[in-house]
Structure 1
């Protein structure tokens, strides 16, 4: 199944907190749901749970990165 990379806007403090949660083996449910919603808005159907990949290094505009498996038969 193809992977779709999702970029979610965030601020530096929140992004670092979410990164720390994932490093501790925990999940930030709100950002995971936001990633799933972003996939639906792009007209794709998620095939699994969003997987946290990391954060960008932006000074002002930090983004959370998620990979989401999508069904290949859904229209982009």
Structure 2
């Protein structure tokens, strides 16, 4: 049985057109690789080691619009 890993929520600034594209890809079962890679890089930047691929959660309604990803991280590992 797999243990649940801690999760970090990442919000990435975007624009409306890109956000719509990411949502359409997600709904069609696809992946927007640039934003997924950016979410992973943000987790590393925060000093954590990703334990799995970032999962697209949705977008915010604010300005600027943000892409929201959840990323599982390894417990107790930080790189600062």
Q: Which has the higher strand share?
A: 2
Could you state the TM-score of these two structures normalised by the residue count of structure 1? Answer: 0.94
Does residue 42 (structure 1) correspond to residue 46 (structure 2)? The answer is yes
**Which contiguous aligned blocks of 4+ residues in structure 1 show a shift greater than 3 angstroms?**
none
Q: Please list every run of 5 or more consecutive structure 1 residues that lacks an aligned counterpart in the other structure.
A: none
Q: Looking at CA atoms only, which structure, 1 or 2, has the larger radius of gyration?
A: 2
Could you tell me how far 1:69 is from its partner in structure 2?
Answer: 0.1
**Which residue of structure 1 lines up, in the alignment, with residue 65 of structure 2?**
62
Gaps of 5+ in 2: none
Using structure 2 for the length normalisation, give the TM-score.
Answer: 0.90
